[in-house]
């Protein structure tokens, strides 16, 4: 299940469910690089772009590599890294971090494992889908797939 969680994290790094978000400053403040933010200013961040920054993820940022989520960058370590939520803001960070984050992972794990256990899923087209960064994740023209029931073991129950 840790590999599945790493795959979910890597998928959301490259294709975040919410691709950009904004916050409004209540009081004057300074960003870590000393950029002033005035009360009332809107600060927007772009998780889609952040997931593709070489400075955050390395030269292989464009590759789907679930092993990057394991300590020592190896699946066999079986220990997942704790990644700074400001580097990976999929569930927000700081005082606004999503309280349902762990429940979301439980639900995603259950749904993905349940579906993949019972079905094979293959894309209809061999063309790479075009990701459209709207407010929420979207593929241009959708992502059509063929769903085929896996062979069931006689001892397995539905």
Residue 106 C-beta-side C-alpha neighbours within 13 Å? 4
| Element containing residue 57 per DSSP (H, E) | helix 54-57
Cβ distance 137 to 17 under 8 Å? yes
Asked if 51 and 13 touch (Cβ cutoff 8 Å), the reply is yes
Cβ–Cβ under 8 Å, residues 21 and 44: yes
Residue 98 annotated as part of some ligand binding site? yes
Known binding residues are 98
Known binding residues for heme are 98
């Amino acid at each position: 299940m840790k590999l599945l969680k790493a795959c979910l994290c890597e998928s959301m790094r490259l294709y975040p469910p919410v691709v950009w978000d904004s916050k409004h400053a209540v009081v004057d403040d300074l960003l870590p690089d000393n950029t002033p933010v005035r009360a009332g200013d809107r600060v927007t961040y772009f998780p889609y772009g952040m997931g593709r920054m070489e400075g955050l993820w390395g030269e292989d940022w464009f590759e789907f590599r679930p092993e990057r989520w394991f300590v020592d960058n190896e699946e066999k370590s079986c220990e997942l890294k704790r990644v700074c939520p400001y580097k990976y803001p999929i569930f927000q960070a700081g005082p606004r971090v999503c309280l349902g984050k762990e429940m979301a992972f439980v639900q995603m794990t259950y749904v993905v494992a349940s579906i993949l256990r019972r079905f094979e899923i293959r894309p209809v087209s061999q063309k790479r889908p075009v990701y459209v960064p709207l407010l929420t994740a979207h593929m241009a023209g959708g992502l059509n797939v063929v769903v085929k029931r896996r062979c069931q073991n006689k001892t397995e129950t539905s």
